Amino acid sequence: MKKYGLIGYPLTHSFSKKYFTAKFEREGIENHVYDLYEIQNLSDFPELLRANPKLCGLNVTVPHKIGVMFYLDWVHPDAREVDAVNCIRITAESPVAAAFSGEVGIKDHEFRLEGFNTDVYGFEMSLKPLLNAQHTQALVLGTGGASRAVKYVLNKLNIYAKFVSREASADRIGYADVTPELLSKYKLIINTTPLGMSPNVDKCPDIPYEALTSEHLLYDLIYNPEETLFLQKGREQGAATKNGYEMLLLQAEKSWEIWNSREIKPEEE
């Protein structure tokens, strides 16, 4: 039996469990199971691993994407740059090998923990097909953990990013600063906040939607509901829109690829 799962707190609902359970059944992958491991304190993480020796991989969600890095033996450069991990590959490793690796996350263990960030892959692959020549500057709504991967991908694609938060500071503007004039320059707008997520579907980021045009692209990391009020208001102005569902699918499949890869690929080094 090979075990996989998701760690986080709270875990009231999980796309990952539904996705992988359906995948195992659909593709006839036997003796594989995906479970939820709700841990409030990361100090319980080592014990979780020791109690589940058949774990081969984990997804990580809030609030542990940053803190879990302390326990890892190795972190992919993308994840280190983003400073967040949402996928862990667990492989067998002898204590001697661990001692000589130079990086040990959990002492006296017989497994190796490698951290990755599949948010980067999922966001980049779902965004790139939608980009046009005018999408050279982006407004990123929100400065929480989800915005880290977005910022990394935009930098990689040479798209200048301006961040918008409830309070302006040296590196971000406030929502009051998002004017029609600003929107005429920033044709890509990405919502990384939870505003509009079910069940609060009547909420949306406070921007002048009437200034949007058919040249704008609105991307919402939220996938439930399928069309948030943010996306609806954009569509009504003729803007192209995209929700976060494909990003989730891509993330999940990337996790599966990582868990089943015996060695780190050259591009991962």
Residues recognised as catalytic: 65
Burial of 68 (0-12, 13-18, 19+ CB in 10 A): buried
Could you say which DSSP state residue 38 is in? E
CA nearest neighbour of 71 among 100, 53, 92, 47 = 47
The structure tokens listed for 126 are 């779902």
Determine the Cα–Cα distance for residues 240 and 252; give it in Å rounded to an integer: 25
Ramachandran angles phi, psi of 102, nearest 5°: 90, -15
Q: Which amino acid does the sequence have at 60?
A: V
Tokens 């192209």 identify what position?
240
Determine the Cα–Cα distance for residues 17 and 34; give it in Å rounded to an integer: 6
Find out whether 99 and 73 touch, Cβ atoms under 8 Å. Answer: no
Give the three-state DSSP class for 71: helix
Strand partners, 162: 139
Secondary structure (DSSP) of 109-155: -SEEEEEE-HHHHHHHHHHGGG--TT-SEEEEE--STHHHHHHHHHH
